[in-house]
């Protein structure tokens, strides 16, 4: 016994350790099913109209208020049945059926959308605004994050979806990057809002710092299991978000050039990893200093910051950029740009993954010949 207040702490740490992740194809299918659920919900059940109280009398306002509450509860129920519940099932008990589930889902969604467009006179839902689509993406990322964080400690959540130990691809690995990207798309920098000084930056990130220290204190006080190989002994994702926000606020980079700067950071960080840093980060040796105890979390700031800067330029280009033609900011043109960029990113991802596998194959063939 190590004197821990939690007798199962070591077993729980092993439960989320030494994981290798899932296949890239499965992650791509799951990341496609989730937005399909949102499209299906909007296509089948149009949003309920919110009733605004008037200045007639208290009785009328009370009636209108009850209708507004009823519409809100009905919308909440529909969202849960069409989005949250299927998502929860796909991530848990139906995880082995995700490929079978995705095909009829795509056929159903395309059929419903095509029928709505063919019979446009009977379709009262209309197209969602650009702001609503971006907000919906951010909400879906939050829901996925909540579900995965709560489910990862249970056996019903497949181990291949939990964070990988060293190398690999998993749903939760995709989640942390998506969370960074979701914040970057609508950030102050993407909206070309003037930067602030370091004092204002620290003040704006104080909630994240408070949450980071609160999580540190609560996990220590209840002796909750914390996998040190993820962020370190004391570090957590709230500290990473705060650090990225402070760096982006202090170092003022124009949004139209932030993507180039972000890619340069990612390439430099990957070069550093490939030339010795990964050996240091993956080793179990830790010193007594703060940097050594939290090496995983502190050094990961560079990668998350580079990704954040890429997201800033994407948000600026897709939604907030100043362009001479106002038509470029319409929903249809935004869809075209998002689809094109998504296709390019997927092709680049597949290409880089193939290159890495070819490099590994060449490396093992070279060893075998020796």
d(CA 127, CA 352): 36
pLDDT at 240 over 80: yes
Lowest mean pLDDT among 19-23, 109-113, 261-265, 323-327: 323-327
Q: Report the C-alpha gap between 244 and 247 in whole angstroms.
A: 5
pLDDT at residue 324, as a whole number: 47
Average pLDDT over residues 107-129: 70
What pLDDT, on a 0 to 100 scale, did the predictor assign at position 46? 59
pLDDT of residue 128: 66
Q: What is the DSSP string of 215-246?
A: HHHHHHHTT----HHHH-SS--HHHHHHHHHH
Structure confidence by residue, pLDDT tens digits, 34-70? 888 988 888 877 544 444 444 445 555 555 456 678 8
Greatest Cα pair distance in the chain: 90
Per-residue pLDDT at 360: 61
pLDDT at position 50: 42
pLDDT of residue 366: 65
From 38-47, 154-163, 287-296, the region with the lowest mean pLDDT: 38-47
Residue count of the chain, please give it. Answer: 370
Q: Is the pLDDT of residue 307 over 90?
A: yes
At 22 the three-state DSSP class reads strand
Segment 230-240 mean pLDDT = 91
Q: Which residues of 320-340 are buried (b: 16+ CB within 10 A; e: fewer)?
A: beeeeeeeeeeeeebeeeeee
pLDDT in tens, 312-370: 999 888 877 655 444 445 677 777 888 888 888 888 888 877 776 676 666 566 666 65
Instruction: Decide which of 308 and 137 is more confident.
Output: 308
Distance in angstroms (rounded) separating the CA atoms of residues 263 and 352: 14
Higher pLDDT, 305 or 66: 305
Q: Where does the pLDDT of residue 132 fall: very low under 50, low under 70, confident under 90, or very high at 90 and above?
A: confident
Q: How far apart are the first and last CA of the chain?
A: 47
């Amino acid at each position: 016994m190590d004197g821990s207040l939690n007798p199962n702490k070591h077993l729980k740490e092993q439960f989320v350790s030494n994981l290798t992740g899932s296949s890239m194809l499965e992650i791509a299918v799951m990341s496609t099913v989730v937005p399909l659920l949102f499209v299906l919900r909007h296509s089948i059940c149009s949003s309920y109209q919110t009733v605004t109280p008037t200045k007639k009398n208290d009785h009328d306002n009370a009636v209108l208020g009850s209708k507004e509450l009823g519409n809100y509860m009905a919308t909440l129920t529909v969202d849960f049945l069409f989005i949250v519940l299927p998502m929860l099932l796909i991530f848990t008990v139906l995880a082995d059926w995700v490929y079978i589930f995705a095909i009829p889902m795509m056929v159903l969604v395309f059929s419903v959308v095509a029928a709505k467009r063919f019979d446009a006179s009977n379709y009262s839902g209309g197209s969602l605004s650009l702001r609503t689509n971006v907000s919906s993406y951010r909400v879906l990322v939050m829901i996925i994050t909540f579900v995965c964080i709560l489910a990862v400690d249970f056996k019903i959540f497949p181990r291949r979806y939990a964070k990988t130990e060293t190398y690999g691809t998993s749903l939760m690995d995709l989640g942390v990057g998506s969370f960074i990207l979701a914040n970057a798309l609508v950030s102050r920098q993407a909206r070309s809002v003037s930067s602030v000084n370091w004092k204002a930056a620290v003040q704006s990130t104080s909630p994240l710092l408070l949450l980071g220290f609160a999580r540190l204190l609560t996990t220590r006080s209840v002796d909750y299991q914390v996998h040190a190989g993820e962020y370190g002994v004391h570090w957590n994702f709230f500290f990473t978000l705060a650090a990225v926000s402070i760096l982006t606020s202090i170092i003022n980079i124009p949004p139209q050039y932030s993507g180039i700067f972000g890619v340069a950071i990612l390439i430099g960080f990957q070069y550093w990893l490939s030339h010795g840093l990964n050996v240091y980060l993956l080793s179990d040796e830790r010193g007594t200093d703060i940097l050594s105890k939290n090496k995983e979390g502190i050094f990961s700031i560079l990668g998350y910051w580079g990704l954040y800067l890429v997201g800033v330029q994407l948000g600026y280009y897709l939604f907030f950029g100043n362009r001479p033609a106002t038509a470029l900011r319409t929903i249809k043109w935004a869809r075209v740009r998002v689809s094109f960029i998504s296709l390019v990113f997927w092709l680049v991802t597949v290409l880089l993954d193939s290159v890495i596998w070819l490099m590994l194959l060449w490396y093992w063939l070279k060893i075998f010949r020796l």
